[in-house]
């Protein structure tokens, strides 16, 4: 059975105190737990996906530009993974089970990106997704 962990937008801009669209202390409080679950999934041989917002500065035609302030701009530290999750990525980014997926839309599942990844669609997955006032974890099969 193919399993994957999907980390969605756990970046500086969404988590750090000075992030452009931060969830702040509640998101920061779970950084160690997210890193531990990610490491556990990796150690179990699961695929790891980082689905990360990638916006272009001044893109007035993007449908989210009227909804949110500029955030996770390409080429900025706002897109860096936050805390120990960033350290995990730096260490394992070359592994063929670790993927960085740029996403342009709010939903990481827009156009079902995971189905077309080199790993194929996982049959079970665990994911972390940011919300504006808290982080949500959804788990299937863990």
Predicted pLDDT at 72: 80
Highest mean pLDDT among 72-76, 86-90, 126-130: 86-90
CA-angle at 80, arms to 89 and 66, nearest 5°: 135
At residue 98, the 3 state secondary structure works out as strand
Predicted pLDDT at 133: 39
Confidence of residue 55 (pLDDT cuts 50, 70, 90): confident
Predicted pLDDT at 57: 81
Highest mean pLDDT among 47-56, 94-103, 118-127: 94-103
The residue with greater pLDDT, 62 or 108, is: 62
Confidence of residue 98 (pLDDT cuts 50, 70, 90): very high
DSSP state of 131: -
* Number of neighbouring beta carbons within 10 Å of residue 102: 14
Confidence of residue 104 (pLDDT cuts 50, 70, 90): low
What are the distances in angstroms from CA 79 to CA 7, 51, 103? 13, 11, 11
Predicted pLDDT at 23: 86
- Find the helix packing angle between 83-92 and 31-43, rounded to 10°: 30
Predicted pLDDT at 140: 36
């Amino acid at each position: 059975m193919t399993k994957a962990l999907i980390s969605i937008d756990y970046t500086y801009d969404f988590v750090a105190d000075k992030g452009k669209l931060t969830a702040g202390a509640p998101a920061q409080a779970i950084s160690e737990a997210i890193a531990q679950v990610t490491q556990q999934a990796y150690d179990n041989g699961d695929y790891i996906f980082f689905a990360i917002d990638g916006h272009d500065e001044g893109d007035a035609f993007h449908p989210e530009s009227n909804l949110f302030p500029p955030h996770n701009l390409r080429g900025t530290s706002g897109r860096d993974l936050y805390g120990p999750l960033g350290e995990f990525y730096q260490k394992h980014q070359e592994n063929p089970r670790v993927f960085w997926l740029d996403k342009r839309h709010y939903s990481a599942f827009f156009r079902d990106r995971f189905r077309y990844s080199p790993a194929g669609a996982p049959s079970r997955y665990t994911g972390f997704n940011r919300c504006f006032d808290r982080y949500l974890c959804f788990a299937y099969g863990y």
